[in-house]
Structure 1
Amino acid sequence: MSDTFRAFRIHHDDDGYRAGIETLRLDDLSPGEVTIRAAYSSVNYKDALAGTGQGKILRTFPLNGGIDVAGHVIASTDPAFKEGDAVLCTGCGLSETRDGGYSEVVRLPAQWTIPLPAGLSLEEAMILGTAGFTAGLALLHMQDNRQTPELGPIAITGATGGVGMLGVDIFTRAGYEVHAISGKRERFDFLQALGAKACLDREALGFSGKPMESTRFGGAFDCVGGDILAGLLASTAPYGNVACCGLAASPKLSTTVMPFIIRGVNLLGVASAGTARDLRERVWQHLADDWKPAHLERIHTRTLPLDELPSLFEDMLAGRSFGRSVVRITVSD
């Protein structure tokens, strides 16, 4: 291992908020039992907020950005990992409380380091990243709570976002009929190519705002919150599940207990960052096997080097990006 390496590092001090490529040494990194040579990371909206300072993501400074990473072990003090092992990590404090994945060398806690499951390449794991893991975790929670395709179609909101489009592919792959909900009608053909059986304009959903609606969906994976989430709860079939992971529309929820006590509808929270290890391993095994998206090549729209992160952050925050972008950290993986 070289004495020095490159990383995209974020500062906030007396000189203000700034970020860029720096040369670091191993001792500059957060501690961890597993040291990896990073091959790929991914770019999430959260990364753009952190990298530009437009969102309060980091809880300590300075830190390397990147909430996801995949690569090969180059040193480990934990016997569960040996040199050359392919591993990944998503969330778990990366780029929040500890150095993240935008670095040629990353140190990870063994507790949150996941062996790359057979069936996924390092690049595919990062096309999925936190976004795909979140969609997979939602499906796992729903199925653990007795969701089945027989209950009816699954509504997926925010379907043209990274989490939503992967959700369309993952739920379809798992055998569910997916109804994709989005305000971007020009992307309906894309969503249908991912497997959506129907595409619904969010402005034309026709939710009445009443405590109970006619049953329309067997369950839902909601990425937006607000009134749409309330409408989904009111229109979900008896004993169906609505998994909620986002607040793109609103963090507020105005509803009643009626869907819960009359139809037995379940509202399931999906918080991917601190998910227990056993659940992480279950989700990643599914994502490498029976839930592996069939259209990763469509969803993966860009691979870029570390140096181009600032321009992509600008595009994401301005609404000019689409699909999943992957960061190539090192030339050889």
Structure 2
Amino acid sequence: MTSPLHRLLQFHDRRFWLSFAVVGAVLLGLVPLLNLLPGENSALHLPNYMIPLLGKYLCYGLLALALDLVWGYAGVLSLGHGAFFALGGYAMGMYLMREIGTRGVYGNPLLPDFMVFLAWKELPWYWMGFDHFAFAALMVVLVPACLALVFGWLAFRSRITGVYLSIITQAMTFALMLAFFRNEMGFGGNNGLTDFKDLLGFDLRDQTTKVALYAASVVALGAALLICRFVVASKLGRVMMAMRDAESRVRFLGYSVTATKLFAFTLSAALAGIAGALYVPQVGIINPSEFSPANSIEIAIWVAVGGRGTLVGAILGALAVNAAKTWLTGALPDAWLFFLGALFIAVTLVLPDGLTGLAGRLHRRRPKAPPAREEKHA
């Protein structure tokens, strides 16, 4: 018998662990040091605004990784992952709102400001417990996972696949967006949740807190990558890939397609919820626009650009597209959506395997050095 840690180490070669360690050291060690140690006038100083921006990118990378697990390996194209991301964000936002206490505009120790403004008399039952971080952290995972479990069970047991499944996942996130826009739902309506003060007693405006949240995003992304690689390299992962390529044959061999899809979909939703929870304190707001179907489509574009079915490619795709978005929305704000659409069309027609597939083809085409000739000695 071998331990799970030993099996995890066996699933990856030395090259992977070396790359993982180097990237982790840069993101977790070098980046915070460049922000905290050099003076602001130093050429080595990393500006303060870059830390939450990089943290946001890493949350997007975790979200793309979650979608790649279920789309790239299980063959389930979900266009509703923005809903799981937003639900995790709202769970964290509810905790942060309860943390404000009497420091709100109206000074109510129990009700958030928007509830006082709307003349709510008491805290709704579904807000109970969110004054405790442990409860909120549990809800960050459980709420998206339970929604995915129920939704997936109804969809997969009915054998809904392909474009029909994509449509109903998009309908789900659109319905949630409309519901959360309503003031009577008790989630802040159109304005959402904002004006957060602190997290676990640490001031969210303090730079060291921002660095700590960034570091938490790095750790979460690294842990999620290891979990996903562990899953896809296992026997379950091989069944997932077989199901992706020939679902009817896998069903004929006696494997439970419903259970396999349900596991991947639920795990993916939980990871998306964690990404949303890390995103909210770094950005400072969560509102119903996060449920927008366009956001879920954009997540699929990240995965397609990076390379579906590669895990690391999905993360790189999310980082690359969002970095381009940040630059283009500042330099050419009217051109961003046209660029995004053109990028998706170009990837679909020219690079179906994404950037990682292109890199792999270029590496294979690189001419190999001829073997060294042995010198003949007299």
For the superposition of Structure 1 and Structure 2, which TM-score range results when normalised by the shorter chain? Answer: under 0.3
Give the structure with the larger helix fraction: 2
Larger Rg: 2
Give the structure with the larger strand fraction: 1
TM-score computed with the length of structure 1 as normaliser:
0.26
TM-score computed with the length of structure 2 as normaliser:
0.24
Higher relative contact order (CA 8 A, sep 6+): 2
